[in-house]
Chains A and B, each alone.
Chain A
Amino acid sequence: MAGAGTLSAAPAARGGLPPLLRRLLQVVPVLFGIATLNFLILQLAPGDVVDVLAGEAGAATPETMAALRQSFGLDQPVWLQYLRYLGQLASLDLGHSYRLNLPVRALILTRLPPTLLLMVSALLLAIVLGSLAGILAARQVGGWLDTLLSGVTLLSYAVPTFWLGLMAIVLFSARLGWLPSGGMLTIGASHDGLALLQDLAAHLVLPAVTLSTFYLAVYARLVRSAMLELHGADFIRTARAKGAGEWRITLHHAFRNALLPMVTMAGYQAASLLSGAVLVETVFSWPGLGRLAYEAIRTRDLNLLLGILFFSSILVVIVNIAIDGVYRLVDPRVAPRARRA
């Protein structure tokens, strides 16, 4: 995506509009491109939702199948379906799920909060624990803690997420009985207030930790190496000469500088969490968007799938804009005005 300060921006836009609005306008063609790609790629999958419906029904006559295709508009040429789809998008109507017989927007909105909760928890866990591990490891390079943390991060980097999730269920639910093996809330318990939060937290721990492991390892390594690079830097030496404490140097001077690559990675992670969520949601029967997407692919529920993909791309674009904002907060040198100067 073009940066905010590129020269190609139209003079009017450069002069008149505030930067955030300008960014949002640039998003429109990006979303258009994504929608087009989504549509075209999905055309390549063999079989359609009517095949699936007829298969599930146990039998069907060619007449009913033809009637279904007609009512879904699947009998029309691809370009016409595409235009209709774009028209729908433009009016922010995501259409109807063929198989579940509900509006796509309603389906997405009920499944989005669990996924967001899971994603944000995993992101926070990965960032906090990853940085902590990185800082601790960097403080005693080659020490026992560093070796231990390197081993653990390497392992969590290498182990497949779904396998880790299954093993966590086997250990914490089946063997120890500490945590529930799946779901988001104890159904029928009708907790409220604090009890509800506790129940939710108990269900959230395993999937959030599982989903966070891969990036936790990435952050730990990033922070560790960034801290080491800064180890002999002038401003660190100056701080030490001024008599600053070791922890103050580590956190205030070194870690703040190590944050930049981490913010970049967090942007990546936010996007990839969506795809990671498919596996984790399946293993932990978490009622989220990822599983809905998987089901939509399996059943060729095109409207639903396109809706989810479109929604996800909006989410990713928003995260990217937010990450740009965070850059400016963390490092003033990144601000557009400063760069131009």
Chain B
Amino acid sequence: MNRRDLMLAGLGLAALPDLALAQGHAHATAAGTPVRGGTARIVVAEPPILTSAFITTMNIGMVSSKILEGLVSYDLELKPVPALAESWDTAEDGLSVTFNLRRNVRWHDGRPFGSADVRFTLLEVWKKLHPFGRAVFANVTAVETPDDHTVTIRLSAPAPYLFNYINTYGAQILPRHVYEGTDVLQNPANTAPIGTGPFRFKEWVRGSHVALERNADYWQPGKPYLDGVLFRFIPDPVARTVALEAGEIDVTIGSLVPVTSLRRFSDAAKYTINTDDGRFLASIFLAQINVRRPYVSDRRVRQALSHAIDRAALVRLVWQGYGKPATGPIPSSVSQYYARGNPQGFDPKRAEALLDEAGFKRGADGKRFRINLVSGSGDSLESNRAGEFIKQSLARIGVELELIIEDSAAYLRRVYTEADYDIMTSSLHKLPDPTLGVQRLYWTKNIVRGAPWTNGSGYSNPELDRIMEAAAAEGDAAKRRALVTRWQAIVQEDAPILDLVELTWTTVSTARFRKDRPQGDGMFAGLEDAWLALAR
């Protein structure tokens, strides 16, 4: 979930930026020979702790990923790339997975890293405490460590999605010697982490910054190039933008520069806008419908709402072109499972016909009925703008929409505990595998009162439940794809959730900041390959 503070309410929709220019250099790899030294100054929102092993808050991941590592990282196609695991192998029956760990890796306190650390973190932290880890490692029956550098995971059923969530953001490895026998959630190392990563924790001055310094003992010889990384907390979006323009900082990650300000950084000679760093999250801005409520409990009404919204215009006007119209529950970046097309696409005439058919004809004043839409003020500025866009879209088919914006606590309470809403909007991570990021939103067993980001629409379809559960345990890739395709068609038809925009996470940096290896999970990169070119 995207948690950005909003101070600036008055940002109007500006003219379209020159997108060809803005995105043209997104793929540009860093040219030239890396330069040693210097400190990269990066803006993030202040995280509550600095360990991601049991919590998915994005800004924690952005900081902790430089200190602590995972088994792999992901390339632009979201394929795993070795990190602390050098290689891996899945047994033919899919019931065991073996990881060969890198040798001669040391924790920042000098102790050797080994298979016992992985085993401990998997069993005691990811499987027990991590909100997604519980699902990812649910089938794990045992973890064997034949030697210090080998980990074998035994599974009760194949779990192909496991390989999609073992980077430093999804499954961060903690030092067993620091955590074993302690209350993991309260361990002091959570705010002063000891990792294996390219940078060591130096200090955290609350409200101001987190400082990291180079790990001279890093396992990649000669790296990192930087002497340190400095994370600064600048809560106001305009102040951030100015600080980047004034050269006081080098990088903003996680779309911290509002899309309306991005064109100020369109000069490729001075700035780089990376649009690939968040591919791994596969985030979609969506409207979830409370199917327990009158009017929208009728599937035809939900389909009509879907037909009323022009997703392409939404991307163009509200997201300034940074994003893609979504067609279904799985975003196009998850190419393995993406199915083109949406039978419930933009078609206002069809929308009106469906509403008439459902018996909600226009009244004397041209209106059919009135419902509400709730959004959280902690979500992006764009999400609140999108609410206005949806309101206008629905007005055209005679549906009156009342917009309610509340802060996170009130919004979560209203949606997931009280279910007192008709439509809610949110930006949710679909993750590279539908079993991890999509199933939770439709699964009957995940209708859990009070718990955020569960199946809050109340939608329940036993046939779909069977398909999703079968897909989760299917080891054969082709069969699994067929199941996911069927799953997609069902939820498009029933429309408990309208997937609207595939979000693009932007990293804006000065052109001096270079990173050699493009990553699909670049928001959570270790930055051992990052360097600062000399000022011209």
Contacts and interface: CB of A to CB of B under 8 A. Distances in A.
Interface of A: 45-49, 51-52, 54-62, 65, 99-101, 107, 110-111, 114, 162, 166, 169-170, 173-174, 177, 180-184, 187-188, 279, 282-285, 287-288, 291-292, 295, 298-300
Interface size class of B (residues with CB under 8 A): 35 or more
A324 to B, nearest CB: 33
B230 A187 contact: yes
A51 B409 contact: yes
A287 B234 CA distance: 10
B232 A183 contact: yes
Contacts of B236: 166, 282-283, 285
A76 B417 CA distance: 18
B451 A285 contact: no
Given A174-B242, A285-B235, 17 more contacts: A45-B410, A51-B412, A51-B417, A52-B409, A54-B412, A54-B451, A55-B408, A56-B1, A56-B55, A57-B55, A60-B451, A62-B451, A173-B243, A283-B7, A287-B205, A292-B206, A295-B46
Contacts of A187: 205, 208-209, 211, 230, 232
A288 B207 contact: yes
B453 interface: yes
B469 to A, nearest CB: 18
Nearest to B186: A101
A174 B452 CA distance: 40
B234 A285 contact: yes
B360 interface: no
A100 B131 CA distance: 19
Contacts of A51: 408-409, 412-413, 416-417, 452
B409 A47 contact: yes
A168 B429 CA distance: 37
B239 interface: yes
Contact of B239 (A62, A283, A299): A283
B184 interface: no
B246 A173 contact: yes
Contacts of B234: 182, 285
B448 A177 contact: no
A167 to B, nearest CB: 10
Interface in B170-192: 186, 190-191
B454 interface: yes
B132 interface: yes
Contacts of A169: 238-239, 242
A52 B205 CA distance: 23
B529 to A, nearest CB: 22
Interface string B126-156: 0000011010000000000000000000000
| 7 pairs of A and B residues whose beta carbons are closest in the complex | A47-B409, A287-B207, A58-B56, A59-B131, A47-B413, A287-B208, A46-B410
A174 B246 contact: yes
Contacts of B49: 101
B361 interface: no
B233 interface: yes
13 contacts: A47-B409, A55-B1, A60-B131, A60-B452, A65-B450, A181-B242, A187-B205, A282-B235, A283-B236, A285-B234, A285-B239, A287-B205, A292-B206
B207 A291 contact: yes
Contacts of A282: 5, 7, 235-236
A101 B230 CA distance: 23
A114 B56 CA distance: 31
A122 B230 CA distance: 29
Contacts of A291: 207, 235
Interface string B236-261: 10110011011010000000000000
Nearest to A300: B409
A182 B452 contact: no
A284 B406 CA distance: 25
Contact of A182 (B239, B451, B453): B239
Contacts of A47: 408-413
Contacts of B235: 282, 285, 291
Contacts of B408: 47, 51-52, 55, 298-299
Contacts of B48: 56, 99-101
B208 A183 contact: yes
Interface string B28-65: 00000000000100000010110000011100000000
Nearest to A63: B451
A291 B236 CA distance: 11
Interface string B400-412: 0000001111111
Nearest to B376: A55
